Amino acid sequence: MKIKDYSCLVFDCDGVVLNSNKVKTKAFYEAALSYGEGPAKALVDHHVANGGVSRYRKFEFFLNQLVTSGASGPGLDELLEIYARKVRQGLIECEIDSGLYELREQTSSTSWCIVSGGDQAELREVFSEKGLDQLFDGGIYGSPDTKDEILTRELQAGCIARPALFIGDSRYDHEASANAGLDFVFVSQWTEFAGWKSYCDKHNVEFVVSLGDLL
Q: How far is CA 174 from CA 70, 83, 109, in A?
A: 37, 26, 25
At residue 1, the pLDDT reads 74
The CA-based dihedral angle spanning residues 172, 88, 96, 188, taken in that order and rounded to the nearest 10 degrees: -30
CA 144 – CA 54 distance, rounded (Å)? 7
Closest by alpha carbon to 28, among 4, 49, 7? 49
pLDDT in tens, the chain (215 residues): 799 999 999 999 999 999 999 999 999 999 999 999 999 999 999 999 998 888 999 999 999 999 988 889 999 999 999 999 999 889 999 999 999 999 999 999 999 999 999 999 999 999 999 999 999 999 999 999 999 999 999 999 999 999 999 999 999 999 999 999 999 999 999 999 999 999 999 999 999 999 999 99
Closest by alpha carbon to 113, among 158, 174, 160? 160
92 close to 182: Cβ distance less than 8 angstroms: no
Phi, psi of 149, deg, nearest 5: -65, -40
**Bridge partners of 18?**
14, 96
Q: Angle at Cα 159 formed by Cα 109 and Cα 99, nearest 5°?
A: 45
Closest by alpha carbon to 22, among 169, 190, 167? 190
pTM score? 0.90
